[in-house]
């Protein structure tokens, strides 16, 4: 089967698991509290296991070169997303108003500007990106995803904090503290083991690998439950949601595809980078909106 066929098949499988997650929520098999605990298990245990296992492989120059290319692509992706979001999402935007039956356009303040920008720039590469790539390419794809996770955290806890807080809360000490997440620690340990060719005993590897193997179904089940508790009909009435989703999921990845496809690289590296670029914002924008007290207006516009 061709790569396109395999990818399409895996996407169908993923959507089936998401549908099962929706059913689990609607039938009260999984409630919000359980879903929150499952999410923590995924982020704190399963994802780091997937990352570490992906580094337990024979060293090769091709893999190391692919990893370095992935770092460059992830950096370009974030810089391009920042540029486009600042170019398109302005502090004042035109809106349609009516005066005596006449349609006019007027500039109004965009109170959502930071929230819209952060949802365009920062994808949930860990929660959504790893399962998607793991389902399509296996551990080799996850190996390259680690580059995106690293750059995501660096950009999020520098540029993201400055943008959302107005530079009030950024400090090097706080950034370094935030970077010490389970996934980043797993990357550091895994990369060290890969470069030094340190292999864990087979029994330990098998235990880690069994935990890692539940990543994709686990994540998609959680995603399904999350979708199940969302008021989709109200969400679909907010036209700005379509605009932001178009920029994040289609426009920026399409531009990056045109750029990246001009350079020689493996198909796995290329497609993995594009999947990371097109991964949805998920909780990243929501959590930062709450933290910096921008959530109320954001909820009214995007989450209702």
Please state which CATH number belongs to domain 3-303. 1.20.1530
Strands 102-109, 92-99: pairing kind? antiparallel
Distances (CA, A) of 241 to 22, 160, 161, 301: 21, 20, 23, 8
Of 251, 277, 244, nearest in space to 75 by CA = 277
289 within 8 A of 295, measured Cβ to Cβ: yes
pLDDT at 210: 93
pLDDT at 100: 57
Average pLDDT per block of 10 residues along the chain, 304 residues long: 67 86 91 85 86 88 92 95 90 57 52 80 80 83 88 83 69 69 86 92 94 85 82 70 88 95 92 90 61 52 43
Alpha helices in 42-171 (DSSP H): 47-55, 61-88, 113-121, 130-137, 139-155, 161-165
Q: How many CA atoms lie within 13 A of 70 on its CB side?
A: 28
Tokens for 139? 């551990």
pLDDT at 3: 60
pLDDT at 301: 46
- What single-letter DSSP state applies at residue 266? -
Alpha-carbon gap, residue 276 to 133, rounded angstroms: 9
Tokens for 248? 């994040």
Q: Would you call 176 exposed, middle or buried from its count of C-beta atoms within 10 A (0-12, 13-18, 19+)?
A: exposed
pLDDT at 234: 67
pLDDT at 287: 58
pLDDT at 304: 41
Alpha-carbon gap, residue 94 to 107, rounded angstroms: 4
pLDDT at 170: 58
């Amino acid at each position: 089967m061709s790569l396109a066929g395999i990818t399409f098949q895996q996407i169908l499988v993923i959507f089936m698991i998401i549908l099962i997650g929706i059913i689990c929520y609607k039938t009260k098999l999984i409630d919000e509290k359980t879903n929150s605990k499952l999410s923590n298990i995924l982020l704190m245990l399963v994802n780091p296991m997937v990352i570490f296992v992906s580094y337990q492989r024979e060293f090769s120059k091709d893999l190391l070169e692919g990893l370095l290319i992935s770092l460059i692509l992830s950096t370009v992706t974030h810089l391009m997303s920042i540029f486009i979001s600042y170019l398109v999402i302005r502090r004042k935007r035109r809106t349609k108003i009516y005066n005596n039956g006449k349609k006019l356009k007027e500039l109004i303040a965009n109170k959502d500007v930071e929230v819209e920008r952060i949802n365009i720039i920062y994808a949930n590469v860990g929660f959504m990106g790893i399962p998607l790539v793991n389902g399509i390419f296996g551990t080799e794809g996850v190996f390259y995803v680690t580059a995106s996770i690293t750059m995501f955290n660096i950009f999020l806890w520098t540029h993201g904090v400055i943008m959302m807080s107005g530079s009030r809360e950024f400090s090097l000490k706080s950034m370094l503290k935030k970077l010490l997440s389970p996934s980043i620690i797993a990357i550091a340990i895994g990369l060290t083991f890969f470069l030094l060719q340190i292999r864990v005993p087979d029994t330990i590897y098998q235990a880690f690998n069994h935990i890692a193997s539940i990543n994709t179904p686990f994540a998609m089940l959680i995603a399904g439950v999350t979708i199940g508790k969302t008021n989709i009909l109200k969400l679909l009435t907010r036209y700005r949601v379509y605009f932001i989703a178009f920029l994040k999921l289609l426009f920026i990845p399409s531009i990056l595809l045109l750029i990246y496809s001009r350079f020689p690289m493996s198909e796995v590296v290329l497609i993995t980078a594009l999947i990371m670029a097109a991964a949805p914002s998920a909780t990243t924008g929501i959590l930062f909106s709450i933290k910096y007290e921008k959530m109320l207006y954001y909820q009214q516009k995007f989450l209702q």
